[in-house]
């Protein structure tokens, strides 16, 4: 089982989206809705299903969802020495390693987003994450990496050092890179759970894992009613205040931010968000970024990339790629919001 504070992407998301809007309408009979939750991947999950086919047992549904998430954990954990990912990480450099179709799918998407973000999203940042004490190994303040150590580590990272042979399901590490998929695997787990539900004929649901979520069909309010969730204010504590409600139709949402996992040394704040291009924690004023997509894995990874890039570079990439992005940045007067054109279009159509 992962350490809950360390599994999630740079952001280590405690859920940012409250399950708002699950009110029952007085105008029509409420459909049958069932909710269940559990723990996996070092965090919690919450599932709501509506109008489940009568041929399905609720216990089987919960077991199926848990199995889908546990499979992602078993393939992509850096905390399990026998996971598919760790077998790859410990394989001899230059030697081909056969991997599962799921791990290849995530590595291929990671490669594409690495290239699109010009290295801001880089799963080989694992050695730097570890060096700063945000990985599987704790470090003390006295063990913070020196400039020389960081320069040395920078020479050994880069997803260009990972060679993918999709046709043969083989991967070769061309250097001693340590691949860490925590910035995309949780979103991928959401997608796997959602796809499993759809395959069972369950068409109305909300899947949430550690704050990342995906919806489909209608909510417990009945046919035609969207799922409603919320972006919360950063730094608002155990009972977060709602910044903006989102009405979602068959969409996925992921958020990254710097306010749940950091440490301070002599007044200097060190964020868990490590810039793979510099080897150091980011220093910009972005507090949280929310990405809306049809794929939770994609939203998860791009949220991390933009968290690394900062508001200006991040929005520029979002505009170029047509990503729906909403950013909250710190200022002397509180938080300043900015959004991409695609997010504005979604707001006009189905986000309120």
pLDDT digits over 111-158, tens only? Answer: 999 999 999 999 998 788 778 776 555 545 556 788 898 888 898 899
Burial classification of residue 62, based on how many CB atoms lie within 10 Å of its CB (0-12 exposed, 13-18 middle, 19 or more buried): middle
User: Does position 261 have pLDDT exceeding 60, yes or no?
Assistant: no
Question: How far is residue 288's CA from residue 232's CA, in Å, rounded to a whole number?
Answer: 9
User: Predicted confidence band at 18 (pLDDT cuts at 50, 70, 90)?
Assistant: very low
Percent of all residues in the chain with a pLDDT value above 70, rounded to a whole number = 82
Q: Which residue has the higher pLDDT, 130 or 6?
A: 130
Secondary structure class of 246 (helix, strand, coil): strand
Please give the full DSSP string across 296-339, using - where no structure is assigned.
HHHHHHHHHHHHHH-HHHHHHHHHHHT-EEEEEEEETTEEEEEE
User: Does position 258 have pLDDT exceeding 90, yes or no?
Assistant: no
pLDDT digits over 189-232, tens only? Answer: 999 999 999 999 999 999 999 999 999 999 998 888 999 888 88
Question: How far is residue 289's CA from residue 97's CA, in Å, rounded to a whole number?
Answer: 35
Burial classification of residue 167, based on how many CB atoms lie within 10 Å of its CB (0-12 exposed, 13-18 middle, 19 or more buried): exposed
- Count of alpha carbons within 13 Å of 133, Cβ hemisphere only? 14
Q: CA 79, 84, 88, 90: dihedral to nearest 10 degrees?
A: 40
Domains of the chain: 4-74+192-349 (3.10.520.10), 78-173 (1.10.3980.10)
User: Does position 234 have pLDDT exceeding 80, yes or no?
Assistant: no
pLDDT at 269: 53
pLDDT at 280: 83
Secondary structure class of 253 (helix, strand, coil): strand
pLDDT at 247: 87
Highest mean pLDDT among 199-208, 276-285, 323-332: 199-208
User: Does position 24 have pLDDT exceeding 70, yes or no?
Assistant: no
pLDDT digits over 180-191, tens only? Answer: 999 999 999 999
- How many residues are listed for the chain in this entry? 352
Mean pLDDT of 231-237: 69
User: Does position 48 have pLDDT exceeding 90, yes or no?
Assistant: yes
Residue whose entry in the numeric block shows the structure tokens 């913070």: 144
Mean pLDDT of the chain: 84
């Amino acid at each position: 089982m992962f350490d809950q504070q360390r599994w999630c992407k740079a952001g280590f998301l405690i859920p940012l989206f409250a399950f708002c809007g699950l009110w029952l309408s007085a105008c029509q009979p409420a459909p049958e809705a069932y909710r269940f939750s559990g723990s996996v991947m070092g965090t919690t999950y919450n599932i709501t299903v509506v109008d489940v086919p009568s041929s399905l047992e609720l216990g089987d549904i919960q077991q199926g969802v848990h199995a889908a998430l546990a499979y992602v954990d078993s393939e992509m954990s850096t905390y399990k020495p026998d996971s598919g990912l760790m077998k790859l990480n410990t394989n001899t450099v230059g030697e081909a390693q056969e991997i599962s179709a799921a791990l290849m799918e995530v590595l291929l998407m990671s490669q594409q987003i690495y290239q699109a973000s010009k290295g801001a999203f880089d799963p080989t940042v694992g050695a730097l994450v570890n060096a700063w004490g945000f990985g599987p190994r704790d470090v003390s303040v006295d063990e913070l990496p020196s400039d020389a150590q960081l320069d040395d580590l920078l020479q050994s990272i880069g997803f260009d050092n990972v060679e993918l042979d999709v046709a043969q399901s083989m991967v070769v590490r061309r250097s001693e890179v340590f691949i860490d998929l925590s910035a995309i695997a949780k979103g991928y787990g959401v997608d796997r759970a959602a796809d499993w539900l759809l395959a069972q004929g369950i068409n109305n649901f909300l899947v949430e894992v550690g704050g990342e979520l995906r919806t489909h069909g209608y909510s417990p309010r009945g046919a035609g009613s969207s799922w409603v969730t919320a972006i919360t204010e950063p730094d608002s504590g155990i009972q977060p205040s709602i910044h903006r409600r989102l009405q979602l139709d068959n969409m996925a949402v992921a958020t990254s931010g710097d306010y749940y996992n950091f440490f301070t040394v002599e007044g200097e704040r060190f964020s868990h968000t490590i810039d793979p291009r510099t080897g150091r924690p980011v220093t910009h004023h972005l507090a949280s970024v929310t990405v809306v997509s049809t794929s939770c894995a994609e939203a998860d990874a791009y949220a991390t990339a933009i968290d690394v890039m900062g508001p200006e570079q991040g929005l520029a990439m979002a505009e170029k790629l047509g990503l729906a992005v909403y950013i909250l940045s710190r200022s002397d007067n509180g938080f300043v919001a900015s959004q991409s054109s695609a997010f504005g279009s979604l707001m006009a159509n189905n986000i309120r």
